[in-house]
């Protein structure tokens, strides 16, 4: 499926499907975009910056990854003029094709949806990833959890390679380039296998959960 003229929000982070993303919007180009998305119930695209900064500066050029994630607005408020606070939920991945920067600085693109991850049960050899994640959740304040994913986590989610890998990709202190490569993987099983390797390299293992 192709979606034309999707407004893009380049960020210094990567949004994974199923992840919650809180944002504070104050740039004019994004305030107008968010207003229209709210009025029309429409999504926008999150793409990770490869060049430039989140807040545009005079003479600054921007570049971003070709693969991003649709974001739908689940909550919004305007605590003061010129500021909108929103909460988004990551949906389907997409790949950009035609890209255009409008006069007021907003990027739009034609995008093609990438296939959604298949539902693959977490294999026994990767079960430590689940046990450790459950241990992390048990120690995490509920207010922190709601800023990561819509909860509470269900048995079906905890048993699914895609959901579990994506939550770890949110939590782990990885370089943005590595998170982007994980997002672009088409196999959720391989994504979780790589997460397991990263947990080992970071010195985080199933014994940490005891």
Question: How high is the mean pLDDT of the chain?
Answer: 91
Where does the chain hold its CATH 2.30.130.40 domain(s)?
Answer: 2-113
pLDDT of residue 210: 43
3-state secondary structure of 69: strand
Give the CA angle between residues 134, 156, 177 to the nearest 5°: 65
Beta carbons within 10 angstroms of residue 79's beta carbon: 8
Where does the chain hold its CATH 1.10.4060 domain(s)?
Answer: 124-209
Fold that domain 2-113 belongs to in CATH: 2.30.130
* Residues 162 and 119 sit within 8 Å (Cβ to Cβ): yes
Tell me the C-alpha distance between 42 and 6, whole Å. 9
Return the percentage of the chain with pLDDT > 90, whole number.
77
Q: What is the mean pLDDT of residues 103-126?
A: 95
Question: When comparing pLDDT for 198 and 205, which is higher?
Answer: 198
Fold that domain 124-209 belongs to in CATH: LON domain-like fold (1.10.4060)
Chain-centroid distance, C-alpha 127: 24
Give the CA angle between residues 18, 205, 124 to the nearest 5°: 70
List Cα–Cα distances, 34 to 8, 26, 78, 127, in angstroms: 11, 10, 11, 40
> What are the φ and ψ backbone dihedral angles of 108, each rounded to 5 degrees?
-130, 155
């Amino acid at each position: 499926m192709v979606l034309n003229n999707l407004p893009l929000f380049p960020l210094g982070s990567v949004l994974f499907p199923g992840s919650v993303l809180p944002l504070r919007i104050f740039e004019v180009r994004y305030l107008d975009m968010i207003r229209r998305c709210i009025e029309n119930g429409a999504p926008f695209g999150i793409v990770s910056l490869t060049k430039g900064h989140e807040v545009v500066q005079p003479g600054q050029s921007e570049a971003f990854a070709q693969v991003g994630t649709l974001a739908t607005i689940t909550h919004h408020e305007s605590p003061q003029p010129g500021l909108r606070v929103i909460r988004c939920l990551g949906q389907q991945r997409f790949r950009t094709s035609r890209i255009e920067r409008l006069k007021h600085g907003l990027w739009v693109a034609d995008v093609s949806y990438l296939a959604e991850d298949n539902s693959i049960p977490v294999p026994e050899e990767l079960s430590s990833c689940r046990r450790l994640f459950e241990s992390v959740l048990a120690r995490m304040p509920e207010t922190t959890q709601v800023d990561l994913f819509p909860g509470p986590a269900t048995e079906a989610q905890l048993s699914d390679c895609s959901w579990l890998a994506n939550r770890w990709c949110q939590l782990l202190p990885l370089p943005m380039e590595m998170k982007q490569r994980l997002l672009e993987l088409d196999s959720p099983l391989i994504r979780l296998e790589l997460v397991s390797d990263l947990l080992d390299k970071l010195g985080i293992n199933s014994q940490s959960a005891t």
